[in-house]
Structure 1
Amino acid sequence: MSEFGEILREVGEFGPFQKRLLLLLCLPYMFVGFHLLAQVFTGADVPHHCRADWMSNVTAGLPADEQLFLTIPRERDGSYQKCRMYTPHPDEDLDWILLHGNQSTMACEEGWVYDQSQYGSTIVTEFNLVCDQRWLIQLSQTSSMVGLFVGAMLFGHLADRFGRQRTILVSLLFQLLGGMGAAFAPNIGLFIALQFVLGTAVSGTMMNTIVLGTEWTGPAQRSFASVFTQCSFSAGQVLLAGLAYTIRDWRILQLTTACPMLLFLSYIWLLPESARWLIMKGQKDQAKRYLRSAAMLNKRVFNESLTDKVFIEKKMQQIAVWDLFRISSLRRVTLVLTFIWFVNSFVYYGLSFSVGSFGKNIYLTHFIFGLVETLRGSCIWLLAMFGRRKCQGCFLWLGGVSCLLVLAIPQGMAVGVTVLAVLAKLSISCSFTVTYVYSTELLPTVIRQTGIGLVSMFARLGGIIVPLIMMLDRDHPGISLILFGISSLVAGSLSFLLPETSNKELPDHSGHVEHVKREVNGGREEENGAKLSDAGAFTESTRM
């Protein structure tokens, strides 16, 4: 009896076929960075104040700054209030206003004046998402995070049932439609709805590209494939900063990031299905077709009889999502991964959407964030040197400590705050990278995508509450960083409860996880004829 790992060694574990696949997967993953973080610019907080045309008529001869002084009350720090104005006296002349002054204030009635010198046109300036309507910006971000949540639940199950390739294609199609539709949204309601569609599609793309690349790659190169794919997300973040700086109209920016998605329609012919998944589903003929293609590109000879030797029962092992908690070998893994994914998403998007508070130039800060995130490529070396478990825990600890240290920086030291924020963002990005690698190696093929979808759902819950925490942070400054720091430290500690998976073959059934767990605890069993428990129904020899 032969394992898929032996078949993969026969056709090539990381040859031209896998490198071509990796390139195909990196391109759409880069656009994930565009669509997830575009609202940092399209929904940026534009400086504004109340429009008061009556004062402009009365004080036509005065400079603009003096007119503003007579029109808008000031905050305690000397800045002009954004949502209040002095009560109008259109029947009085300038001398009367200068003599009596203005004491009473009122909310803006004639709209707002926006300083568009930095951001240009945004959804804020077009739909007047300020003052009482400001919550709609947070709702838009929350809608995107809810979409990620639904996409994790939906596309994880679909990938296990219908395959990785089809699910990726559907995700890319909806990503194209959602992105282009948002560029033409006539009102904020439709824009928010399309952000939900985009989030759902992006979730499917993120999960399945990583898993498809992982299932075609051998153990030695698996972390490289996963990390390299995620580095393309950081590249997208860097390019987004450049695009947003160049294109100051939010509709054109949205269209620019969406139109290239048309190229991915060609993936219906270019993207292969996971041969591992096909074999687990009993679709050996299709699996052989892809394996022959892989062997040909890798200039290897494929022995098709190996596929026939892989023992699969006529009925594949049936595992439902609740079995992730029922089966003892999966319960601890699932619970710990669930919390780690939640914290990663909570802290990552919290720092991403707070980019404006970490530096004066949002474009430069976002560019630095993206550029520094490309250093997550170092995870390839670190994972090989120290393994998954140590890297996961230490990255979370470093991110948590960095968040808490930001609170110790005195006001006015913007450089110190930016450095610590960048370090925290890099640490959490690396933690997220390790989590993707670790999760695909811990969860068995029969329920890998369903499991990834489940833990990813909890990650999206972390993203959903980020806008709410940001609103709370206005009244209680620093509370968000405290929550980011503490949760990261706890998640880092829990990660050491997981087994190490470095250089181990991917598990196909739940019993493989139990086998790895025994090895970690020092209870190695004989591989030939070992009867694997919990999921039952399988007797196999596991190649590690």
Structure 2
Amino acid sequence: MTDFGDVINAVGDLGPFQKWLVLMLSLANFLTAFPMFGQLFMVLDVPHHCKTSWIYAISPNLTEEQQLNLTIPRNTQGSYEECLMYAPVNWDIDSVIEYGLNVTKKCQEGWVYSAEQNPTLVTQFDLVCDRKELNDISQSIYMLGLLLGAVRKSLSQLAVQSQQDNLAWGLQSVLMSLGTEWVGVPYRSHAVIVTHCCFSIGQMVLAGLAYGVHNWRLLQIAGSAPVFCLFFYIWVLPESARWLMTKEKVKEAKKLLQKAASVNRRTISPELLDQLTPEKKVKSGNILDLFLKKRLRKVTLVMAYVWFVNSLVYYGLSLNVGSFGLDIYLTQLVFGAVEIPARFGCIFLLQWFGRKKCQGFFLLLGGAMCLIITRIPKDLPVVVTTLAVIGKFAIAASFSISYVYSAELFPTIIRQTGVGLCSMSSRVGGIISPLISLLDKYHPAIPMAIFGSTPVIAGILCFLLPETRDKELQDHTEETKESQREMWHMGRSQGVLAAAIKRLPS
């Protein structure tokens, strides 16, 4: 049986077929930026105050300024409180003016927004004050929807997946596996990371789109409609020939390989294809193998936690883009732009330093930045935003590395299951991330402390993993007979050498 890597070399490591495939995957990642972060610009904070029309029953001729002065308390900065009002009284207006009101309570009749304010989700559904938490809760519910699409499905199964966001993100593990398994070893990381750079470009385009379209309904339509194009990927994207071989679908795999070779203007010799046969008596991989086999158990637990932390911190920073003190559109643009060198630089860093060191370093760097933010006063928004940008840089790089690293750590026969499990862990992190932001009402430093400590732990755990740089993908959960034979001969040689040393005169 020939090695599958030899066949990919014959087809072409990165020919027109693979470039077309990477282009399609890049388009998918570009389009998914809006469903992920579009809501940020639909629930922007807007100036508001309690509705206090009760005062007009006492004195209908009051100006707006007089009404606010009499019925709304001021905060320590001297501006009107947004969520408090003076309790209504049955006094006459002269008594109210002379003695003033002292008892405050939460808004009872709703809120008043600026007349110049364009309609938003916040103004339409009063997502302010105590109802403001619904923003974070709704984002968690959205992430829960993404969790449903995290497990790898065949492309035919995706046809019945109607929710556009799940369709977009349910493709992720499939797309990553395709990009990894069709490309040769020298360009494996290139394929994955280029598609991730397109996701970053999508975030930058989102900033411009949101800046130009202020009507939240039009913004939703403009950002979401193109995502439906991903439905046609069911008929466009090829299946993985490597995966088909592990499922003993030899004819389908050979047909796809010949098609790829034709597109790449290559020719695969019939002898090479004839040698491409699945190994006999190899059990199909299943999710239990991830935990029952010692090596896979360590890989699964560590990588699942790494994906969880990446998602937790990545979305923790991204979804709080408006809370760092600077213009949200500019910050979103910078957040998207900084990811491009972070992700693209991984192509070279992974080759120079290996997967394990890069994964651990960027997790530690991202965690350190978040921990430092907890010690910076909020009246220094430039410093806070700069640290957040560095943290986003590090976590974005870590996220891209985890895709490449996971695809290389899991064997082909169970790769999509392993990556799907990691993706599920990632979605759990995404679900929890918006809820962690709610903890700032107990202490402002709590969310960033969590976002900082968890990646530090993950970075340390990464050094327990094996290195996969320049190594061919493993196809099965069990070692091949050749590998076992090599290990047996090596052990025997070491035993002979040790015996010979003992016989040497002292």
Pair 1:141 & 2:139 matched:
yes
In structure 2, the CA distance between the partners of 1:56 and 1:25, relative to structure 1 (3 Å rule), is: farther
Instruction: Using the TM superposition, give the Cα deviation of residue 418 of structure 1 relative to its aligned residue in structure 2, in angstroms.
Output: 0.7
Instruction: Using the TM superposition, give the Cα deviation of residue 85 of structure 1 relative to its aligned residue in structure 2, in angstroms.
Output: 1.3
Which of 362, 367, 379 is residue 395 of structure 1 equivalent to? Answer: 362
Equivalent residue, structure 2, for 1:298: 264
In 2, Cα distance between equivalents of 1:322 and 1:66:
70
Instruction: Using the TM superposition, give the Cα deviation of residue 308 of structure 1 relative to its aligned residue in structure 2, in angstroms.
Output: 3.1
Instruction: Using the TM superposition, give the Cα deviation of residue 169 of structure 1 relative to its aligned residue in structure 2, in angstroms.
Output: 5.3
Which of 129, 132, 136 is residue 131 of structure 1 equivalent to? Answer: 129
Which of 287, 293, 303 is residue 327 of structure 1 equivalent to? Answer: 293
In structure 2, the CA distance between the partners of 1:167 and 1:16, relative to structure 1 (3 Å rule), is: farther
Q: TM-score, normalised by structure 1?
A: 0.84
Render the CA deviation track for 1:288-331: whole Å, top value 9, x for unaligned.
Answer: 22212211111101224433323324665222212211111211
Q: Does the 8 A contact of 1:329 with 1:511 survive in 2?
A: no
Equivalent residue, structure 2, for 1:525: 487
In 1, Cα distance between equivalents of 2:115 and 2:258:
57
In structure 2, the CA distance between the partners of 1:259 and 1:512, relative to structure 1 (3 Å rule), is: farther
Consecutive unaligned residues in structure 2, runs of 5 or more:
491-506
Equivalent residue, structure 1, for 2:171: 205
Q: Does the 8 A contact of 2:183 with 2:191 survive in 1?
A: yes
Name whichever of 411-420 and 213-222 sits farther off. Answer: 411-420
Pair 1:430 & 2:397 matched:
yes
Equivalent residue, structure 2, for 1:463: 430
Instruction: Using the TM superposition, give the Cα deviation of residue 390 of structure 1 relative to its aligned residue in structure 2, in angstroms.
Output: 0.8
Equivalent residue, structure 1, for 2:203: 237
Alignment of 1:20-59 (within 5 A): 20-55=20-55
Secondary structure of the 2:85 match is strand
Q: Does the 8 A contact of 2:168 with 2:230 survive in 1?
A: no
In 2, Cα distance between equivalents of 1:524 and 1:314:
20
Secondary structure of the 1:401 match is helix
Equivalent residue, structure 1, for 2:494: none
Q: Does the 8 A contact of 2:167 with 2:230 survive in 1?
A: no
Pair 1:338 & 2:299 matched:
no
Render the CA deviation track for 1:319-378: whole Å, top value 9, x for unaligned.
Answer: 221221111121111111111111111111111111111133111111110111112211
Name whichever of 18-27 and 405-414 sits farther off. Answer: 405-414
Equivalent residue, structure 1, for 2:493: none
Instruction: Using the TM superposition, give the Cα deviation of residue 235 of structure 1 relative to its aligned residue in structure 2, in angstroms.
Output: 0.9
Equivalent residue, structure 2, for 1:151: 149
Number of residue pairs matched by the alignment: 489
Q: TM-score, normalised by structure 2?
A: 0.90
In structure 2, the CA distance between the partners of 1:112 and 1:514, relative to structure 1 (3 Å rule), is: farther
Secondary structure of the 1:458 match is helix
Q: Does the 8 A contact of 1:48 with 1:114 survive in 2?
A: yes
In structure 2, the CA distance between the partners of 1:333 and 1:117, relative to structure 1 (3 Å rule), is: farther
In 2, Cα distance between equivalents of 1:363 and 1:273:
39
Alignment of 1:62-73 (within 5 A): 64-73=64-73
Q: What letter matches 2:111 in structure 1?
A: W
Pair 1:88 & 2:55 matched:
no
Q: Does the 8 A contact of 2:137 with 2:435 survive in 1?
A: no
Equivalent residue, structure 2, for 1:191: none
Q: Does the 8 A contact of 2:359 with 2:462 survive in 1?
A: yes
Aligned sequence identity (%): 47
In structure 2, the CA distance between the partners of 1:20 and 1:412, relative to structure 1 (3 Å rule), is: same
Q: Does the 8 A contact of 1:169 with 1:267 survive in 2?
A: no
Equivalent residue, structure 2, for 1:8: 8
Pair 1:483 & 2:450 matched:
yes
In structure 2, the CA distance between the partners of 1:305 and 1:251, relative to structure 1 (3 Å rule), is: farther
In structure 2, the CA distance between the partners of 1:304 and 1:113, relative to structure 1 (3 Å rule), is: farther
Q: Does the 8 A contact of 1:329 with 1:513 survive in 2?
A: no
Tell which structure's C-alpha radius of gyration is larger.
2
Q: What letter matches 1:364 in structure 2?
A: L
Instruction: Using the TM superposition, give the Cα deviation of residue 117 of structure 1 relative to its aligned residue in structure 2, in angstroms.
Output: 5.8
In 1, Cα distance between equivalents of 2:56 and 2:258:
76
Render the CA deviation track for 1:91-141: whole Å, top value 9, x for unaligned.
Answer: 733x443212122223323221234867x3332221222233333222211
In 2, Cα distance between equivalents of 1:76 and 1:147:
41
Equivalent residue, structure 1, for 2:478: 511
Instruction: Using the TM superposition, give the Cα deviation of residue 465 of structure 1 relative to its aligned residue in structure 2, in angstroms.
Output: 1.7
Q: Does the 8 A contact of 2:247 with 2:284 survive in 1?
A: no
Equivalent residue, structure 1, for 2:411: 444
Q: What letter matches 2:14 in structure 1?
A: F
Q: What letter matches 2:121 in structure 1?
A: I
Equivalent residue, structure 1, for 2:106: 107
Name whichever of 401-410 and 54-63 sits farther off. Answer: 54-63
In structure 2, the CA distance between the partners of 1:116 and 1:138, relative to structure 1 (3 Å rule), is: farther
Q: What letter matches 1:271 in structure 2?
A: L
Instruction: Using the TM superposition, give the Cα deviation of residue 167 of structure 1 relative to its aligned residue in structure 2, in angstroms.
Output: 5.0
Instruction: Using the TM superposition, give the Cα deviation of residue 463 of structure 1 relative to its aligned residue in structure 2, in angstroms.
Output: 1.7
In structure 2, the CA distance between the partners of 1:402 and 1:102, relative to structure 1 (3 Å rule), is: same
Equivalent residue, structure 1, for 2:497: none
In 2, Cα distance between equivalents of 1:262 and 1:202:
8
Render the CA deviation track for 1:393-432: whole Å, top value 9, x for unaligned.
Answer: 1101110111111123244221111100000011001000
Secondary structure of the 1:134 match is helix
In 2, Cα distance between equivalents of 1:386 and 1:474:
42
Which of 316, 320, 336 is residue 350 of structure 1 equivalent to? Answer: 316
Equivalent residue, structure 2, for 1:214: 180
Render the CA deviation track for 1:417-476: whole Å, top value 9, x for unaligned.
Answer: 110000001100100000000000000111111111112222222222222211111221
In 2, Cα distance between equivalents of 1:67 and 1:514:
85
Render the CA deviation track for 1:2-22: whole Å, top value 9, x for unaligned.
Answer: 121111111111001100111
Which of 191, 205, 223 is residue 189 of structure 2 equivalent to? Answer: 223
Q: Does the 8 A contact of 1:49 with 1:80 survive in 2?
A: yes
Render the CA deviation track for 1:492-520: whole Å, top value 9, x for unaligned.
Answer: 1110111111111111111359999x9xx
Instruction: Using the TM superposition, give the Cα deviation of residue 252 of structure 1 relative to its aligned residue in structure 2, in angstroms.
Output: 1.3
In 2, Cα distance between equivalents of 1:74 and 1:374:
44
